[in-house]
Amino acid sequence: MQRDNGSRRDPRVAFVGAGAMGSYVGARIAATGVDVTLIDPWPDHIAAIKERGVDLGGTQGSANVRVQALHIHEVQSLVARPVDIAFVSVKSYDTEWATQLIKQYLAPRGFVVSLQNCINEERIARIVGWGKTLGCIASTIGVSLERPGKVMRTYKPGGAAYTVFRVGEVHGRTTERVQQLAAMLSAVDSTAITNDLWGERWSKLVANSMHNGLAAATGLGHTGVYGQPGPRSVAIRLGGEAVRVGRALGFNLESIRGIPADALEAGAYGDASALRIVGDVIAGWMTRMTDEGRPSTAQDILKGRRTEIDFINGEVVAKAQELGIPVPTQSAILQLVRRVEAGELRPGVEHLAGL
């Protein structure tokens, strides 16, 4: 990365949104010696990080990492230290303001990376431009913010068996900056460069739509959703509907967390042999799960926060309506979570009885 005077320096990295994902990934990268700054609006969390660093725990081992941290009202100080790589790791509904915040403090060749659930690259590009927008899919990293300054990983690392991070340019070419990004993230877990960001994004949306809303509506964690026949059957139907919509949109969908997309779609619509294939892959997922792990939407419900349901199952339903494709299970879960979020219902497995 170049300074304005032409000399080289190491990249400066910022995470706008230092929740579970931003704090965990940011701290792991900072532990390698990279200049990282965590930015967040939660005062207690930022104060804890400033005082004692980020405490990491869970399935990837324990560590304490000292890392720079700023409350959003302190971001102006970055005018003297422009950011080369800005990860936006806020909830999808906060994407625009977070991008606007960091846009003013990007270095001349700086760029923004969406490290989020859902599909937010277009929202980011409307603010900083497509040339400064990259994507990063994080699959089955499984992290939770336990208290200010304390982050736990609840999924076992993917390592050589499963690629957790996939990074890519929106145009699909492999560039120097995407190689730099992949090298940086490989310090956290297995990473690959993708030449099909949009297919990867929809594939991740399919996976999220299978368990995020389902966990929020029922109160189950990952092992509850996939370890019990009833919820697992609903999850498979959710996945098959989302695959059908994605393919109608023209996305290249080959595998959903190791499940062949053909099998997931066929199994969701009653093909018994396809269901056996899907079940075998899901059984393999269980080896990386822990009983403590739960999807982010379910965590939001537990903490009384707004969820991203309209950007996950809601996105599938909206696109399905545009295409005229029926997605009854997706629609039902979307409405259930909206009611739970509004306080009209309490999470419970009994809500699945009518699906």
Do 119 and 205 meet the contact criterion of CB atoms below 8 Å apart? yes
Report the C-alpha gap between 232 and 349 in whole angstroms: 12
Q: Give the pLDDT band (50/70/90) at residue 52.
A: very high
Count Cβ neighbours within 10 Å for each residue of 108-146 and write b for 16 or more, e otherwise.
eebbbbbbbbbbbbebbbebbeeebbbbbbbbbbbbbbe
Q: Find the mean pLDDT for residues 150-156.
A: 95
Encoding tokens for residue 48? Answer: 């804890």
Q: Which domains does the chain have, with CATH numbers?
A: 12-195 (3.40.50.720), 201-354 (1.10.1040.10)
The dihedrals phi and psi of 85, each to the nearest 5 degrees, come to -130, 115
Residue at token pair 């349901």: 309
pLDDT in tens, 80-114: 999 999 999 999 999 999 999 999 999 999 999 99
- Residue 324: pLDDT over 70: yes
| pLDDT band with cut points at 50, 70 and 90 for residue 9 | low
CA distances from 348 to 87, 177, 225, 236, 309 (A): 35, 45, 12, 19, 17
Report in angstroms the alpha-carbon separations of 144 from 18, 147, 151, 233, 311.
Answer: 11, 9, 6, 26, 20
Please state, as a whole number, how many other Cβ atoms lie within 10 Å of the Cβ of residue 285. 18
Check whether 21 has a pLDDT greater than 80.
yes
- What's the predicted TM-score (pTM) here? 0.93
**CA 40 from chain center: how many Å?**
17
Q: By C-alpha distance, which of 210, 206, 212, 234 is closest to 351?
A: 234
pLDDT tens, residue by residue, 230-287? 999 999 999 999 999 999 999 999 999 999 999 999 999 999 999 999 999 999 999 9
* Euclidean distance between CA atoms 163 and 89, whole angstroms: 19
Percent of the chain with pLDDT over 70: 97
DSSP structural state of residue 75: G
pLDDT band at residue 199 using 50, 70 and 90 as cut-offs: very high
Q: What is the per-residue pLDDT for 1?
A: 36
Mean residue pLDDT across the chain: 95
Q: Quick one: pLDDT at residue 4?
A: 41
